[in-house]
């Protein structure tokens, strides 16, 4: 049986449970163990797909088409383990399954209750679809003390009872605040948080203390004593300068060692910290900068484009350059202001998006990129906008649009396919998950990927309308990536420009620290070349 590690959080939210779980996952995996990481979310949405980025940050999409919590993105980027639908569950999903079953008479006249029915369903989730994994790390969303997370905590308590302490480990992450005025580190919030956890029957085995400063040994002893945790299992985590330092920091604090010791295991090989050291070094010491504009509705919202920010950083690291993101809110980008906004950028990126607001600004920016040969990457909605811009300006279809923005346009160059037109429910009804795409020889895409067949993840409803394909092609917009099963266009590019690529999928979901995505590596490289050629021209 796999060993289960449950990660809970206390005192405040946003302490970095996801990053801690991902770092631990990496450390265990690099020492020869197979790992799965899962997330339990206490909110009532069935999945985060219907939540606005204002509420929840980005929606992460897995290969098998689940719309999940963005923490699953952290896990993948850090561990290179592809997450699955079965790795994320929400209270909403649990209740919806239970209610469906109840309506069918599946409970045989019983009263359906939180304990045991909800907790049983959570326990099923924890174990579901686990084959030969050595470790399953389960992160419980929210903070201990929240009403919503109680059934999850009760379920993990029962789980440990069912399977025994030798198979289950509880890690609790808390805040240990530093009080500047008295120059003191305070352990009381941690004591209270652990007390709360113990009151529901969970005794943490390891406490990770997030602190601005090193925790003096006396304070550690206090935490050990009051929280009933061995002193070597009081692990501190001091704010790191970059997230890529986290696995190194946890290794130095011996988190992985204590976990293995708990389960009476030895590392099968030494952890590989080299990539993290190199990356941390590049991130902290690179002086070279390239400005890339990202134009979207939520650009100023931390986490709304989390995977994209990370993928660009990965692309920068590979090119040994710091990507300086110029975040431009598409609403504010009036057509007349485009030149002013974009004059100092060496690359322009339009990310995924939904709805009409801000689209004309995006289209104007694409026109500027195309006419000035500035490297352009359009992702999903960004690609659709690039097709609209090209159709309006080059094909002369001045009313070209997506039927998402204008249902009655005579030229819906982006349109719904028949099967999408019937849809009434909003959640989970997009083209989701991994789809194949064949790349035409001699295309930029083929050159970038170095392959004829790729798989990328999707999250959208609208598609390029193939009625316009011939005209687009004849005038220079090449469909270089096609879904071999459906014939839908997945990539467009302009060979007349140095680097102008639009992709219907979301490459950012597949970029990891160790395997930066080739599209981002190439886009950052092109932006660097553009910068260099501009500087050279200026010097002439």
Q: What is the 3-class SS of 269-293, one letter each residue?
A: CCCCCHHHHHHHHHHHHCCCEEEEE
The verdict on whether 506 is a catalytic residue reads: yes
Candidate segments 51-59, 141-149, 282-290, 455-463, binder of ligand GLN by CB under 6 A? 455-463
Residues 191-210 that bind ligand GLN (CB under 6 A): none
Supply the minimum distance, in Å, between the C-beta of residue 327 and ligand GLN. 17
Supply the minimum distance, in Å, between the C-beta of residue 255 and ligand GLN. 36
Of 293 and 528, nearer to ligand GLN (C-beta) is 293
Residues 151-180 that bind ligand GLN (CB under 6 A): none
The verdict on whether 329 is a catalytic residue reads: no
CB neighbourhood size of 69 (10 A): 28
- Extract the tokens encoding 165: 């302490």
Picking from 434, 446, 526, the residue whose alpha carbon sits closest to that of residue 62 is 434
Q: Is 461 in the site for ligand GLN (CB under 6 A)?
A: yes
Supply the minimum distance, in Å, between the C-beta of residue 353 and ligand GLN. 5
Say if residues 465 and 479 touch (Cβ distance below 8 Å): no
Picking from 222, 191, 375, the residue whose alpha carbon sits closest to that of residue 292 is 375
Q: Is 404 in the site for ligand GLN (CB under 6 A)?
A: yes
Distance CA 272, CA 99 (A): 46
Interaction pattern, residues 213-232, with ligand GLN; x per rule: CB under 6 A: --------------------
Supply the minimum distance, in Å, between the C-beta of residue 214 and ligand GLN. 44
Binding footprint of ligand GLN, residue count (CB under 6 A): 10
Interaction pattern, residues 329-368, with ligand GLN; x per rule: CB under 6 A: -----------------------xxx--------------
Which of 58, 133, 456, 508 is flagged as catalytic? 508
Of 3 and 459, nearer to ligand GLN (C-beta) is 459
CA 392 to chain centre: 34
Q: Which residues of 275-298 are buried (b: 16+ CB within 10 A; e: fewer)?
A: ebeebbebbeeeeeebebbbbbbb
Interaction pattern, residues 371-400, with ligand GLN; x per rule: CB under 6 A: ---------xx-------------------
What is residue 79's DSSP assignment? Answer: H
- Extract the tokens encoding 231: 């002193």
User: Which residue's C-beta sits nearest to ligand GLN?
Assistant: 352
Say if residues 32 and 22 touch (Cβ distance below 8 Å): no
- Strand, helix or coil for residue 296: strand
Candidate segments 28-36, 184-192, 432-440, 459-467, binder of ligand GLN by CB under 6 A? 459-467
- Extract the tokens encoding 317: 């690291």
Interface residue with ligand GLN, options 75, 462, 468, 523 (CB under 6 A):
462
The verdict on whether 227 is a catalytic residue reads: no
Q: Is 457 in the site for ligand GLN (CB under 6 A)?
A: no
Of 151 and 353, nearer to ligand GLN (C-beta) is 353
Supply the minimum distance, in Å, between the C-beta of residue 342 and ligand GLN. 21
Is 474 exposed, middle or buried, given 0-12, 13-18 or 19+ CB atoms closer than 10 A? exposed
Candidate segments 182-190, 340-348, 444-452, 457-465, binder of ligand GLN by CB under 6 A? 457-465
Say if residues 497 and 373 touch (Cβ distance below 8 Å): yes
Say if residues 34 and 42 touch (Cβ distance below 8 Å): no
Which of 168, 209, 227, 380 is flagged as catalytic? 380
Q: Is 459 in the site for ligand GLN (CB under 6 A)?
A: yes
Of 376 and 381, nearer to ligand GLN (C-beta) is 381
- Extract the tokens encoding 414: 């982006």
The verdict on whether omega for the bond into residue 92 sits within 30 degrees of 0, i.e. cis, is no
Of 159 and 462, nearer to ligand GLN (C-beta) is 462
| 348: alpha, beta or left? (left if phi > 0; alpha if psi -120 to 50) | beta
| 45: alpha, beta or left? (left if phi > 0; alpha if psi -120 to 50) | beta
Say if residues 332 and 296 touch (Cβ distance below 8 Å): no
Of 362 and 461, nearer to ligand GLN (C-beta) is 461
- State phi, psi for 304 to the nearest 5 degrees: -70, -30
Candidate segments 27-35, 65-73, 454-462, 507-515, binder of ligand GLN by CB under 6 A? 454-462
Supply the minimum distance, in Å, between the C-beta of residue 257 and ligand GLN. 42
Which of 56, 172, 458, 506 is flagged as catalytic? 506
Sign of CA dihedral 436, 441, 442, 447: positive
Supply the minimum distance, in Å, between the C-beta of residue 379 and ligand GLN. 7
Find the DSSP H helices in 372-493: 381-393, 418-421, 444-449, 469-474
Supply the minimum distance, in Å, between the C-beta of residue 384 and ligand GLN. 6
Distance CA 376, CA 525 (A): 12
Distance CA 11, CA 46 (A): 26
| 525: alpha, beta or left? (left if phi > 0; alpha if psi -120 to 50) | alpha
Q: Residues in the site for ligand GLN, rule: CB under 6 A?
A: 352-354, 380-381, 404, 459-462
**Residues forming the active site:** 380, 506, 508
């Amino acid at each position: 049986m796999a060993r289960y590690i449950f990660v809970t959080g206390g005192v405040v939210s946003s302490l970095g449970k996801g990053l801690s779980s991902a770092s631990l996952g990496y450390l265990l995996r690099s020492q020869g163990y197979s790992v799965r990481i899962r997330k339990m979310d206490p909110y009532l949405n069935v999945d985060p797909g219907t939540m606005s980025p204002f509420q929840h940050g980005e929606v992460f999409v897995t290969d098998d088409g689940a719309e999940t919590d963005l923490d699953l993105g952290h896990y993948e980027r850090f561990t290179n383990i592809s997450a699955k639908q079965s790795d994320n569950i929400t209270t909403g999903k649990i209740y919806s399954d239970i209610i469906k079953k109840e309506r069918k008479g599946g409970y045989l006249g019983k009263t359906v209750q939180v304990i045991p029915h909800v907790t049983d369903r959570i326990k099923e989730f924890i174990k579901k679809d686990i084959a030969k994994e050595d470790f399953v790390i389960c992160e419980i969303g929210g903070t201990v003390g929240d009403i919503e997370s109680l059934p999850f905590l009760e379920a993990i308590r029962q789980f440990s009872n069912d399977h025994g302490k030798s198979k289950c480990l509880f890690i609790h992450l808390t805040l240990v605040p530093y009080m500047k005025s008295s120059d003191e580190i305070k352990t009381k919030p941690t004591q209270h948080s652990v007390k709360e956890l113990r009151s529901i029957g969970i005794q943490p085995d390891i406490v990770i203390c997030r602190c601005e400063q090193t925790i003096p040994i006396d304070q550690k002893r206090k935490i050990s004593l009051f929280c009933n945790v061995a002193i070597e299992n009081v692990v501190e985590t001091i704010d790191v300068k970059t997230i890529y330092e986290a696995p190194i920091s946890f290794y130095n604090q011996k988190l992985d060692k204590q976990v293995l010791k708990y389960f009476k295991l030895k590392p099968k090989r030494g952890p590989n910290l080299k990539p993290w050291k190199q990356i941390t070094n590049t991130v902290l010491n690179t002086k070279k900068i390239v400005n890339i504009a990202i134009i979207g509705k939520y650009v100023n919202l931390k986490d709304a484009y989390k995977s994209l920010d990370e993928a660009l950083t990965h692309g920068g690291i590979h090119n040994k350059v710091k990507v300086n993101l110029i975040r431009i809110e598409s609403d504010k980008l009036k057509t007349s202001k485009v030149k002013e906004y974009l004059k100092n950028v060496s690359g322009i990126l339009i990310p995924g998006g939904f709805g009409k607001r801000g689209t004309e600004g995006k289209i104007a920016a694409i026109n500027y990129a195309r006419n000035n040969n500035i490297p352009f990457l359009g992702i999903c909605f960004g690609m659709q906008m690039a097709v609209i811009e090209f159709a309006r300006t080059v094909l002369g279809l001045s009313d070209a649009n997506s039927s998402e923005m204008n249902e009655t346009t005579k030229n819906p160059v982006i349109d719904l396919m028949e099967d999408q037109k019937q849809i009434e429910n909003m959640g989970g009804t997009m083209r989701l998950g991994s789809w194949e795409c064949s790349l035409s020889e001699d295309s930029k895409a083929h050159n970038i990927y170095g392959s004829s067949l790729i798989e990328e993840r999707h999250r959208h409803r609208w598609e390029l309308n193939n009625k316009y394909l011939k005209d687009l092609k004849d005038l220079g917009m090449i469909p270089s990536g096609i879904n071999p099963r459906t014939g839908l266009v997945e990539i467009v590019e302009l060979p007349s420009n140095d680097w102008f690529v639009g992709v219907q999928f979301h490459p950012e979901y597949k970029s990891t620290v160790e395997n930066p995505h080739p599209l981002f590596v190439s886009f950052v490289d092109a932006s660097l070349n553009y910068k260099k050629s501009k500087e050279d021209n200026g010097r002439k």
